[in-house]
Amino acid sequence: MSSALDPDKNASSQNLPVVKRDNPNLSSEPAKIDVDPDSDNLIEEPKSEANTKPNNVEPSEANVKPNNVEPSGNYIVTFNSFGGVKIGMTIAQASQALGTELVRGQGYEDACYYVESQGLQGVRFMVTNEKIARIDVSSSKYATDKGAKVGDTEDKIKNLYPRARVQPQQYDEKKHDIEIYSEDEQSMIIFETDGEQVTGFRVGNMEEVGYVDGCS
């Protein structure tokens, strides 16, 4: 007699043992694998760096801009500007124009104070009424639109600015202030000299540029 199974009958009616299978754990997602088309081997996908990167890793130095690095730019000085910074800008606007933060100096009253950046050595910005009113330059790295800079002789300044007026300084008559007014007489430049060469200069609003002692 044949022992073939009848496919139309279930296992219990044919006295066959019923095998119980455990339900698969659907909550455990199997590791993802890729198939190499040139090989019969299965290759397990490596874990993403985003999942293996420690939580305490510091941000890359490339994303942090040091405030003591001089920002790039062409810093031509005019009667009312230094590079992209214009007289009348707020500190925030000036910082954005330079690409570096301007920080307030110590020892000044709120009515008048200086801001500067570690990356711009030899340049300070006077603030009155919360706006840039004057720019002081003491470095030979920066020149005016006429080419005048710290270290130039008095004769060169007078040749570059035919309308210049030479005045003795208030505290030392051997030293000079060379004054040049803008055509609209709203701004001015004063070159400070030791009697022969420029030691520094300041530009901006006539009133603030005229402060001999700066913010004091």
Q: Could you tell me the CATH number of the domain that includes residue 192? A: 2.60.460.10
Instruction: Give the containing element (helix H, strand E) for 191.
Output: strand 187-193
Task: Examine residue 31 and state whether it is found in any structural domain, yes or no.
Answer: no
Q: At a CB cut-off of 8 Å and minimum separation 6, what does 166 contact? A: 154, 158, 176, 177, 178, 179
- Expressed as residue numbers, the domain containing 110 is 77-209
Residue 193 CB-half CA count within 13 A: 26
Cβ pair 165, 157 in contact under 8 A: no
65 found inside a domain: no
Q: Are 165 and 178 in contact (CB under 8 A)?
A: yes
Tokens found for residue 100 = 């570096």
Please give the model's pTM, rounded to 2 decimal places: 0.68
Q: What is the mean pLDDT of each run of 10 residues along the chain (216 residues)?
A: 50 49 48 51 47 42 43 82 97 95 91 94 96 97 97 98 96 97 95 98 97 93
**Residue 151 belongs to a domain:** yes
Residue 170 counted as domain residue: yes
Contact 186, 87 (CB under 8 A): no
In a domain, residue 81? The reply is yes
Number of domains in the chain: 1
Give the number of other CB atoms < 10 A from CB of residue 82: 25
